[in-house]
Amino acid sequence: MSELSIYDRIGALRVVPVVAIESVDDAVPLADALIEGGLPVAEITFRTAAAADAIRTLRQERPQLLIGAGTVTNPDQARSAKECGAEFAVAPGFNPRVVKAAHDVGLPFSPGIMTPTDIEAALEAGVQVLKFFPAGAAGGLKMLKSLAAPYAHLGVRFIPTGGVSLDNVMEYLGELSVLAAGGTWLAKKDDIANGRWEKITENCRKVRKLLS
């Protein structure tokens, strides 16, 4: 699948649940909760030892789910994410070695940015869809608008993550430069660990209702 179509799909969904899975056994029930809630997408962070196996399991068991790898901070993780079946990857910061590794294996990759210098380094590396992180701590929507303005004519798009919630997600999505927003509130680590699948489904439905 082309990089363009991946980002088209992300843009159509508008919101990406960011999740940390501690047990592979939770992967399929989580996917079912997201799908039932109307958000068939997940960014599975490489913050846990189960991440790679969870991605691999979901690619086999729930191929309709758009699966991304998050917190990809070194080239080996980029290659692993691709091998496991991730369709896109995201990082909290900009590392040119990781960008190159992702490009070399054909993995659509969005590095994290927080300054104009970061954005220009990403553009130099051929990347146009960027993660604005940590969005809330970095100044929120006001900061994002200021960052986006000088680069709007270049087609740069952003996925703000960190501090995004049900209360402010629509404000972010109202900004033209925002492709989608990432959020951990949809499927919190504690809810996953305790099998609160109905709560996760309901969180997704609340977002879908706002988007409708």
Q: What is the mean pLDDT of residues 151-168?
A: 97
In order of 33, 86, 207, the CA distances from 196 in angstroms are 9, 25, 17
Q: Please, what is the average pLDDT of the chain? A: 97
Which entry of 82, 87, 131, 188 is annotated as an active-site residue?
131
pLDDT reported for residue 4:
56
How many domains would you assign to the chain? 1
pTM of the complete model = 0.96
Residue 164 has pLDDT above 90, yes or no: yes
Average pLDDT over residues 38-42: 98
pLDDT at 193 over 90: yes
Question: pLDDT, tens digit, for every residue of 43-89?
Answer: 999 999 999 999 999 999 999 999 999 999 999 999 999 999 999 99
Q: Is residue 163 scored above 90 in pLDDT?
A: yes
Q: What is residue 3's predicted lDDT score, i.e. its pLDDT?
A: 61
Structural domain harbouring 167? 3-211
Mean of pLDDT values over 160-180: 98
Residues 9 and 66 sit within 8 Å (Cβ to Cβ): yes
DSSP the chain: --HHHHHHHHHHH-EEEEE--S-GGGHHHHHHHHHHTT--EEEEETTSTTHHHHHHHHHHH-TTSEEEEE---SHHHHHHHHHHT-SEEE-SS--HHHHHHHHHTT--EE-EE-SHHHHHHHHHTT--EEEETTTTTTTHHHHHHHHHGGGGGGT-EEEEBSS--TTTHHHHHTSTTB--EEESSTT-HHHHHTT-HHHHHHHHHHHHHHH-
The one catalytic residue in 43, 82, 87, 188 is: 43
Q: How many CB atoms lie within 10 A of CB 59?
A: 15
Let me know if 22 is a catalytic residue.
no
Shortest CA distance to 90 belongs to which of 76, 104, 102? 102
Using pLDDT thresholds of 50, 70 and 90, give the confidence band for residue 212.
Answer: very high
Residue 33 pLDDT: 98
Q: What is the CATH number of the domain that holds 176?
A: 3.20.20.70
189 in active site: no
Output the CA angle 16-21-24, nearest 5 degrees. 120
